[in-house]
């Protein structure tokens, strides 16, 4: 038993070591990844079930590491946030997504694209100015850009973030609250934070087994309605999810059922398929 314990300890240390080494490696490589154009964006459709129409795309970042392959944002975004690289990375993502949105618009697909923001953006240089510049450069109407923020962002410097969001929204840019209902709850702030929509986290969409879980989702949808907020259900994977959500009056969905995040070529094929169904 003693020997086993020792082995386990050994494996554990090795494991931690590997994780640390990988993190340090990614940290170092992240610096160059932007210049080397190793990032690309995948787009996931948002679908309105009632009108049976595409209503937008979410831009999700991917990193194609030359040696390690495609790396998930869940792994590299936290590192980018720690190092501050998230700011130039988000600027790039905004520029690319707006450029792509303009390309779609020119081809007749006039749908907004949403980009995830990290809290660091609110503490860096003027975010409003950054957004204005990006829109100008892409020649994109502000109503075609949406920003996704999370509840935890609003915990600190509430007033400052409210002020910044207010001025960004007055451009016509939309703002939605991502992952709503997970982590820190901002329910008490919902009437003060200037947003257009709530995104119901996929944790809720995927866990509708008990009456109490369903009651929570029901309450969130009702509350959003009263507050004049749209609701977008995330992680919609099957017909059961759709039936339940539409029954509650939630009509906009995002999830594997409608489409996975896709690169621009895959999106083109996907859009063609939708038109020829």
114 binds ligand C2E (CB under 6 A): no
Minimum separation from the CB atom of position 59 to Ca ion (A): 9
29 binds Ca ion (CB under 5 A): no
Identify the three-state secondary structure at position 64: strand
The separation between the first and the last C-alpha atoms of the chain, rounded to the nearest angstrom, is 63
Backbone CA torsion sign across 227, 45, 82, 72: positive
- Report the run of H or E that residue 207 belongs to, with start and end: none
**Stretch in the footprint of Ca ion (CB under 5 A) among 37-45, 115-123, 167-175, 183-191:** 115-123
Cβ(69)–Cβ(127) under 8 Å? no
Distance CA 169, CA 177 (A): 13
93 binds ligand C2E (CB under 6 A): yes
124 binds ligand C2E (CB under 6 A): no
Residue 174, binding choice from ligand C2E, Ca ion, none, Cβ under 5 to 8 Å by partner class: none
40 binds ligand C2E (CB under 6 A): no
Ramachandran sector of residue 255 (left: φ over 0; alpha: ψ -120 to 50; beta: rest): left
Minimum separation from the CB atom of position 195 to Ca ion (A): 13
| Residue sitting closest to ligand C2E (CB) | 255
235 binds ligand C2E (CB under 6 A): yes
- Indicate the length of the chain as a whole number: 277
Minimum separation from the CB atom of position 14 to ligand C2E (A): 27
Distance CA 66, CA 59 (A): 22
Task: State the residues that interact with ligand C2E by CB under 6 A.
Answer: 44, 60-61, 72-74, 77, 90, 93, 116, 118, 178-179, 202, 235-237, 254-256, 261
């Amino acid at each position: 038993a003693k020997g086993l314990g020792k082995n386990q300890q050994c494996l554990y240390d090795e494991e931690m070591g590997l994780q640390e080494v990988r993190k340090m490696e990614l940290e170092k490589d992240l610096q160059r990844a932007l210049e080397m154009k190793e990032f690309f964006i995948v787009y996931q459709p948002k679908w309105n079930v009632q009108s049976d129409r595409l209503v937008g795309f979410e831009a999700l970042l991917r990193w194609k590491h030359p040696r390690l392959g495609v790396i998930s944002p869940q792994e590299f975004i936290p590192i980018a946030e720690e190092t501050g690289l998230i700011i130039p990375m988000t600027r790039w993502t905004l520029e690319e997504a707006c450029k792509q949105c303009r390309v779609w618009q020119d081809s007749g697909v006039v749908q907004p694209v949403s980009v995830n923001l990290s809290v660091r953006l609110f503490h860096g240089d003027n975010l409003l100015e950054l957004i204005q510049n990006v829109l100008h450069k892409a020649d994109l109407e502000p109503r075609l850009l949406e920003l996704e923020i999370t509840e935890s962002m609003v915990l600190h410097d509430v007033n400052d973030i409210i002020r910044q969001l207010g001025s960004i929204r007055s451009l016509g840019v939309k703002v939605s609250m991502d992952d709503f209902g997970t982590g820190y709850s901002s329910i008490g702030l919902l009437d003060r934070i200037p947003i257009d929509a709530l995104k119901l986290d996929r944790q809720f969409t995927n866990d509708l087994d008990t009456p109490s879980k369903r009651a929570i989702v029901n309450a969130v949808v009702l509350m959003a309605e009263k507050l004049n907020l749209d609701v977008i259900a995330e992680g919609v994977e099957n017909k059961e999810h759709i039936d339940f959500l539409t029954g509650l009056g939630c009509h906009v969905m995002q999830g594997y059922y409608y489409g996975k995040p896709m690169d621009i070529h895959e999106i083109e094929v996907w859009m063609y398929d939708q038109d020829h169904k």
